[in-house]
Structures are given as structure tokens and as C-alpha cells.
Amino acid sequence: MASTLNPLRRPALRPERPVVLVGLMGAGKTTVGRRLAQRMKVPFFDADQEIEKAANMGVADIFEIYGEAEFREGERKVIERLLSGPPHVLATGGGAFMNEQTRALVKAGSTSIWLRASLDLLVKRTAMRDTRPLLRRGDPREILARLLKEREPVYAQADLTVDSVEGPHTRTTERVVQALAARAEEGHVV
């Protein structure tokens, strides 16, 4: 019988290398990442949370006290450490993939996925939580529109692009699983 990409009819996809989610704030990286990890039976990490643990303070405080450059350095170190471990799903902060060194690490050591979302969806989702320092600097829609324009060409360098859709995160998670299964079918190490 011809092979099918229907994940329900396939054995669970167990990644051989880390799966890294990139994309803007509000794209659903953490929620989708957690579900994806459960689904693939591997651990889940959130880079922002790991940085917060290491610094013993929140991201907004790190930005305020040490500045963004220092945050990016900590972010790179945390991501480097995690990627050197066994397969897992890693949700990165929205700016991580914009850093050349961090991007090189992610590209070399994982299957990277850009969770792409519309501006309307990003605005709606980020409005639920006001802990993001970059969005406190002005009108969130304007900031997100600018970041989207600046960052899209870089996010597009990820191995896969999956649209983050409105509604339950399980729908987007399903799309990610299918995209990974299709990549494996094409003969890539996933």
C-alpha cells in the first residue's frame, strides 16, 4: 500500500535531532512546542524560561538591567547548551534566530521550523500577556508589523515553514507533525 502522511496511521515520529521552533512573539512557539514534544515523546524546553532560570530573573528585568545585547548573549549560550543534548523540542524567543551565531547553531544542530502567523493573530495573542519588553516600547501592532517585515526573510531560512492558525493549538501542532513527517519521507534526518 502506498505510504501515507496521515500521522494517525504512522508510528509516532521520534526525532533523531532537536526540533527548534522560531518565529515572532505570539506565533504559539511555546504552546505548540509543548504539545509537539508530548506527541513525539521527547522533552520540551523553552529558551526564555531557561534564560530566566539561569539569571534568576524575568526576561523584562534582564532587558532593563543588563540590556538586550547581554540577553542575546545569554540566549545564545542557553541554546548552544540545549542543542548539545539529546533530541527535544525547543521553543526559542522571537529574536533568537535573528542573531547570526545563534542561527548558525540552530541551522547546524536541529531541524528548524518557522511558525508563521499573520499580524492580526500575533497582535491578538500577544495582547494576552504584557511581559514582553519589546512590545512595551510603543504601539504593539506597529512594533509587530515592523518586526514582521524585518524578520520574515530571516525566519524563512528555517528548514520548514508552518502556518500557525487561529483556533486550538492542536491544529497547528498537527501541521507541524505533518511537515516533519513529509521531511522525513523526503529522506532528511529529522
User: Among the candidate windows 5-13, 80-88, 132-140, 165-173, which touches ligand S3P by CB under 6 A?
Assistant: 132-140
User: Among the candidate windows 7-15, 111-119, 129-137, 177-185, which touches ligand S3P by CB under 6 A?
Assistant: 129-137
- Cα–Cα distance for residue pair 91/113, rounded to 1 Å: 10
Our CB check for ligand S3P shows the closer of 30 and 111 to be: 30
DSSP 3-state assignment of 90?
Answer: strand
Our CB check for ligand S3P shows the closer of 134 and 190 to be: 134
- Name the residue with cell 520548514: 160
Amino acid of residue 126: T
Q: Closest-CB residue for ligand S3P?
A: 93
Contact between 48 and ligand S3P (CB under 6 A)?
yes
- Cell numbers representing residue 83 in the block: 542543542
Dihedral of CA atoms 36, 38, 40, 46 in degrees, nearest 10, equals 50
- Cα–Cα distance for residue pair 164/143, rounded to 1 Å: 19
Q: Closest distance between ligand S3P and the C-beta of residue 61, in Å?
A: 11
Query: Which string of x and - marks every residue 82-121 that binds ligand S3P (by CB under 6 A)?
Result: -----------xxx--------------------------
Our CB check for ligand S3P shows the closer of 90 and 190 to be: 90
Helices in the chain by DSSP H: which ranges?
29-40, 47-55, 59-66, 68-83, 100-109, 119-126, 140-155, 169-185
Query: Binders of ligand S3P among 15-44, rule CB under 6 A?
Result: 25, 29
- Cα–Cα distance for residue pair 117/28, rounded to 1 Å: 9
Our CB check for ligand S3P shows the closer of 29 and 116 to be: 29
Contact between 132 and ligand S3P (CB under 6 A)?
yes
Residues that bind ligand S3P (CB under 6 A): 25, 29, 48, 59, 93-95, 132-134
